[in-house]
Structure 1
Amino acid sequence: MSEIDELRATVDQLVGRVRALEDQVEIMQLVAQYGPSVDSGRGEATAALWTEDGSFDAVPFYEMRGRDDIAAMVHGPGHQRLITNGCGHVLTVPHIVVDGDEATGRSYALNIRWDAEADRFWVARVSANTWRWVRTPQGWRIADRVNAALDGTAEHREMLAPPAGTMA
């Protein structure tokens, strides 16, 4: 192999590695936007994190299909009551497996609420999340998210299990 061929091979390898890193960072940034957008009450901004036909299941409360359902949840009385009383949706960094233009992952989410009488915050919910993201012309978007409370239910715990063939 000539020096030029070796250089081309190295550049090709680096291009692939940089793209993989960019994908990971873009997906993490997408997930990081959820809490601030939903806690600021911005339904359209929250919904825009999903594909047009994306789904979001907040087990057992909501099954949302499409951006309109997601925006309606944010603007709905239940969610508005949460944020006006003091609430934060805090998501952990997800474990991400990218496969071309699709990616899957898992993470935790915490719902932290303000208790004015006790002058403190408390964790109201800790949940498992599974994700499916897709690359779109506008960048990575959420295609599917399932959020289920870690309330001892075996299926909810299983959502956190490493995918077969990947590092934990």
Structure 2
Amino acid sequence: MAVRPIVNLKINFCWSVALTDDPVHDAAAEAATRFREELLGRGWPDACRVAELAGLSPEQEGAAQVTENRRTGALLGVWSAPEHRFVYPDFQFNRSGALRTHVAELLGVLPANKDDQGGWRRAFWLYSPHSLLEGQTPADVFANASIRVIEVAREEFLGDPDAAW
């Protein structure tokens, strides 16, 4: 009896780029890509740098603690595909690099979607102008009014969906 190789090939053309003829969808995807690149251009620190700024060993133990904080929701990390690692948006840290108060509380209010394990939906919300913050971004306001940003997030994500009616 001859053994024949079994080939099971499944190609997913939509893995990284949605194929569509919809110019609105294409434009939105391009805008999101540009915004992501703009945010990554801010030079956000990686786990080793965050550990170093926090006074932890920047080597394995400190970086592991930062990673654990990201996994448990104490820190927001966003996936940087060009760097092949998570980086940590700057709104979370004061000028000396210490973690700001109320970061975990804010992250607990923002939706954590299983389909957004890279953290970008949260980052887009944080770094986009918001009408309830007089057009400022939640990330910019957080440094001086963290409770206000948390209130806005609660109103948007946990509020009564029928209240606007």
Taking structure 1 as the reference length, what is the TM-score of the superposition? Answer: 0.27
The structure where helix makes up a greater share of residues is 2
Task: Indicate the structure (1 or 2) with the bigger Cα radius of gyration.
Answer: 2
Taking structure 2 as the reference length, what is the TM-score of the superposition? Answer: 0.27
Which structure would you say has the larger RCO, counting Cα contacts within 8 Å and 6 or more residues apart?
A: 1
